[in-house]
Structure 1
């Protein structure tokens, strides 16, 4: 088959034909919706390049990469492209997913060939100065699919995935050690009975505004700023579009005056929803202790009630998530120099 690349600047270029159909067929979360890609690209600290892979004109996959120039920029980046740099392949606004995916269950050799074609085509498009790649969120077994003879494998935080029981919350509690189980149950009962605290779970557009989500999310993002090529905090226009849509679930904690104390945002999915973020006011600013762990109880209750296979709990706090019954899947960044 003949492979062609449709290389797109989400800031300026129109949505590619059939994009939403492709996203849905590939089972990708709402963060790949084109209006969100555009909002993310305008606020990013490096130009975002979206590439649609087409075989004989039919879209079969996509890759998103940030163009990390040799001279780092701050704030909104200029439209001029740097002459040289690194292609940083990552999912926009979401560390729990990869920056490359395919429609359908393609065999490994075909995936390998498509990614080789992507690398060759993007290098031709960008020029000789763009010879190096970083592929993020690489799972065990995947390095063999990625192009390049010389690789540097950089272990990163594992990805936590929690399979949910079909039979009810008690079966999840039964997986946990006694001390953890007792503390979670006790706090959940206490929070539910507290007249000065409301706990709501449902569509984000009904429970929270974009500005509220941005305020708590920004504080959470700062905890991850010590990473290689740190991602910029998600901007207000992005979060307004995200929580205003149909594919995001919120767990919102408010005090008696309606002040938002804690917020979890979950990217809905038919089988494996993704826990995008958690943010909370610290106790010294009027927040409540232990909301973080109670949030997982509410997530599991929601996932069981909605018939989900499990939850992608994301990265960070790996040991705490393992204590909650999650499997820790090894992950790495694969650097391919020159």
Structure 2
């Protein structure tokens, strides 16, 4: 077994990375150019590991190297700069809380995860004392290496299965009051706004997407740990990738609402939502209508379901989504 540790900011893309990503069915946020753009804007250095068995790429792990600082820096610092003597390895999916930070070409391989931790210990030194694994689902804890654990429940992940062939079939499973309000608003917005769903590069520019994203990020950003918004180069690459879908609401040429979806033949991921506030000329209830449009698109395109993401759990449950519990698990190195 071999573990290749990379800094996406300056290490070149492994020759077999894209083949591994596609073989594992991973979405566009794991494309190497997107990982590089994310790493340049991150507050902590990103370490990407490619795990190999008998020379064949078998899986990957992405982590942020979080070290204590007297003052919080906005960015991770220059590539190849001196590494902090102590810290925590935070395993998570860059730019997407709906996925895990580790995955496999085939089935889960705990031996490779153990090899990953050994490689991390050798590379970082004894001051790096623990690993935090985020988005650990029920039943996965036993698959992670390491003895003592500290578990912290995190927001559940909402997934909506779509066994229907028509939008009306989904409407039929909703509470009647919710169904009536969604239908009424959908008719109003369709009559008063331009509502479109399709390839992101056809519907929205990265600059206007960045403006809505930044405004939405400011509303939900933690005051204790303010992460910078996704940078313009990241959004340019994401939108132009051919693997993302956009839902747009426009009043004339003005973009009032935007949802970005990571496309996938089975389970697309609703990555982000942003809208102009009503007090600035936006429209109330676009957030709820957005789910109607995304579900309609997913049913019409034959997808098995939609990953609706985290947050607003009760709203998503009312729409028929299953809430899957998850935890963050701290494991000593």
TM-score, length of structure 1 as denominator length: 0.95
State whether residues 166 and 307 of structure 1, in contact with CA within 8 Å, keep that contact through their aligned partners in structure 2.
no
Give the match for residue 114 of structure 1: 112
Give the match for residue 214 of structure 2: 218
Secondary structure at the residue paired with 2:172? Answer: helix
Query: In structure 1, how many angstroms separate the alpha carbons of the residues matched to 2:251 and 2:8?
Result: 39
- The CA deviation string for residues 187-224 of structure 1, in whole angstroms up to 9 with x for no partner, is 11111112xx1101100101101111111111222343
Query: In structure 1, how many angstroms separate the alpha carbons of the residues matched to 2:190 and 2:270?
Result: 22
Cα 1:229/1:115, change in 2 over 3 Å: farther
Give the match for residue 7 of structure 2: 9
Runs of at least 4 residues off by over 6 Å: none
State whether residues 262 and 280 of structure 1, in contact with CA within 8 Å, keep that contact through their aligned partners in structure 2.
yes
State whether residues 165 and 300 of structure 2, in contact with CA within 8 Å, keep that contact through their aligned partners in structure 1.
no
1:263-302 equivalence runs, <5 A: 263-302=258-297
Deviation at 1:228, TM superposition (A): 7.7
1:1-338 equivalence runs, <5 A: 3-71=1-69, 73-78=72-77, 79-106=81-108, 111-194=109-192, 197-226=193-222, 231-256=227-252, 258-338=253-333
**Structure 1: gaps spanning 5 or more residues:** none
Query: In structure 1, how many angstroms separate the alpha carbons of the residues matched to 2:224 and 2:167?
Result: 38
State whether residues 162 and 312 of structure 1, in contact with CA within 8 Å, keep that contact through their aligned partners in structure 2.
yes
Deviation at 1:229, TM superposition (A): 5.4
Cα 1:224/1:142, change in 2 over 3 Å: farther
Query: In structure 1, how many angstroms separate the alpha carbons of the residues matched to 2:223 and 2:114?
Result: 27
State whether residues 164 and 170 of structure 2, in contact with CA within 8 Å, keep that contact through their aligned partners in structure 1.
no
Query: In structure 1, how many angstroms separate the alpha carbons of the residues matched to 2:190 and 2:220?
Result: 31
Deviation at 1:227, TM superposition (A): 8.2
State whether residues 202 and 250 of structure 1, in contact with CA within 8 Å, keep that contact through their aligned partners in structure 2.
yes
The two structures, once aligned, show a CA RMSD in angstroms of 1.3
Query: In structure 2, how many angstroms separate the alpha carbons of the residues matched to 1:130 and 1:222?
Result: 31
- The size of the alignment, in residue pairs, is 329
State whether residues 259 and 273 of structure 2, in contact with CA within 8 Å, keep that contact through their aligned partners in structure 1.
yes
Query: In structure 2, how many angstroms separate the alpha carbons of the residues matched to 1:165 and 1:189?
Result: 24
**Structure 2: gaps spanning 5 or more residues:** none
Deviation at 1:230, TM superposition (A): 5.5
TM-score, length of structure 2 as denominator length: 0.96
State whether residues 224 and 230 of structure 1, in contact with CA within 8 Å, keep that contact through their aligned partners in structure 2.
no
Query: In structure 1, how many angstroms separate the alpha carbons of the residues matched to 2:54 and 2:163?
Result: 43
State whether residues 46 and 73 of structure 1, in contact with CA within 8 Å, keep that contact through their aligned partners in structure 2.
no
